[in-house]
Structure 1
Amino acid sequence: MNKLLPLIVASSFMSVTSFHSMAEVTANVAASSNYFWRGITQTKDGSAVSGGIDYSDDSGFYAGTWVSNVDFGNKTSYELDLYAGFSGERGQFGYDVGYIHYAYPDAEGSIDFGELYGALSWQWLSFKASYLTHAQEDQSTEEEMLYLELGASFTILNDTDLSFHIGRSSGDTVLEWTSEDDAYMDYGVSVAKNGFTLGVVKTDLDADDDVKAYVSYGLDFEL
């Protein structure tokens, strides 16, 4: 699950056709000038290198892991994501449901958290909802966070992908993390071709409301 390219709307869903299915294992690597998560930099506006491995089969089941460097201004140096779910198609609609665990193994204290998510897609549109299931043990507020996001992706000149994104984070955990408000919006636009992505992101948080640009390059390959 490549978080380095959050503005690209995924549109490939596997068919639910057979109990006995062929398995596929793929890997990905990427480098980016910045690592944004829901509009907020995870690297203090520094560069990021990431990689992951994914398993999937024709039943729609998938599982994987993804790792990237981070910089939160403390000793935490990397993020490790673990996730699993099911995706498929029903008529013209695609779906994806699953769970993701965000781990920070070298952090001081426990700052790991997990989310359940569900997504629907139709042609060039996608909608996803993510709900916090647990957060760090030392959090002083209630563990509550909901993220809603809407995306659109189009193919334009010379097979270039143009993507738009809008998201809303809300809940007491958002206030705990941002120290500003219990809800905020994030926006993004990107263009991508041949593994290269150029994008801009923005939030409506007072402390982080500048328009920020990033460039990234990623590769996917079968194992």
Structure 2
Amino acid sequence: MKKTLLATLLGATTLVSSVAHAELSANASVVSNYLWRGLEQADGGPAVQGGLDYSNESGFYAGTWASNVDFGGDAKIELDLYGGYTGSLNDKIEFDVGYVLFAYPGGEDGLNFGELYGNFSMDALTVGIAVLANATGADFGDSLYLSADYAIPLSNDFELGLHIGSYSGDFSSDTIDIGATIAKDSWAVGVSKVDEGDDEIKLYASYAWDFAL
């Protein structure tokens, strides 16, 4: 497609402006029990986690995140790669859409998979959807995760987070997970439960750091 000189110059100006306002940050955390959608990822043990994120004022972002895992097999590391876009639909609704690859270097064949996701927030409520995009031996849409989260401010800068999620499809076990978290500053403690399989109530605590680079 042809562009006029003016459009090309405007595009170059936008690119330079975006790069000039780009941000690079890092994060690290420790958690007593790594849970994902209510399911234990480190055999009930602690995990050390961290990542890098790039974002610019256009709304585009990309990043990577890693954690130790223990599924009883060869996989010992989870490495996530993701990219997406954030913005606003109107004055009240914000959105975050993107793609994430869940990779397990050195793990068994078939562990790696990718999802397309969308999260939509209005005030304290966030609803999300994640759809299987790619996996060995599975088709697009073979799993679906729906979630809702609600944040309630408490006194002394504490916050109560309430969560419910539904994971279903041929690629996943059909589960519903519920949870609650109390957080303040970098600390969080929480409780989680799934309705199928291991139905024990799971407790966890975490501490997180964020760094501007």
Percent identical among aligned pairs is 45
Write the mapping of 1:29-108 to structure 2, written as runs, cut at 5 A.
29-89=28-88, 90-108=90-108
The match for 1:197 is 188
TM-score (norm 1): 0.84
Q: Which amino acid aligns with 1:209?
A: D
Write the mapping of 1:94-133 to structure 2, written as runs, cut at 5 A.
94-133=94-133
Q: CA separation in 1, counterparts of 2:195 and 2:32?
A: 22
Q: CA separation in 2, counterparts of 1:142 and 1:216?
A: 34
Q: CA separation in 2, counterparts of 1:95 and 1:142?
A: 22
Deviation, 1:142, is 8.6
The match for 1:163 is 161
Deviation, 1:117, is 0.4
Native 8 Å contact 2:151 2:160 kept in 1: yes
The 1:113–1:202 alpha-carbon spacing in structure 2 relative to 1, beyond 3 Å, is same
TM-score (norm 2): 0.88
The match for 2:179 is 188
CA RMSD of aligned residues (A): 1.5
Offset from partner CA, 1:65-98 (integer Å, 9 cap, x none): 0000000001110100000000012311110100
What secondary structure is seen at the aligned counterpart in 2 of 1:172?
coil
Q: CA separation in 2, counterparts of 1:184 and 1:109?
A: 24
Q: CA separation in 2, counterparts of 1:27 and 1:142?
A: 32
What secondary structure is seen at the aligned counterpart in 2 of 1:174?
coil
Native 8 Å contact 1:86 1:96 kept in 2: yes
Native 8 Å contact 2:190 2:205 kept in 1: yes
The match for 2:6 is none
Q: CA separation in 2, counterparts of 1:128 and 1:48?
A: 25
User: Would you say how many aligned residue pairs link Structure 1 and Structure 2?
Assistant: 196
The match for 2:205 is 215
Unaligned runs of 5+ in 2: 1-13
What secondary structure is seen at the aligned counterpart in 1 of 2:171?
helix
Native 8 Å contact 1:98 1:116 kept in 2: yes
Q: Which amino acid aligns with 2:68?
A: N
* Consecutive aligned runs of 4 or more in structure 1 exceeding 6 Å deviation: none
Native 8 Å contact 2:134 2:140 kept in 1: no
Q: CA separation in 1, counterparts of 2:110 and 2:129?
A: 25
Q: CA separation in 1, counterparts of 2:189 and 2:27?
A: 18
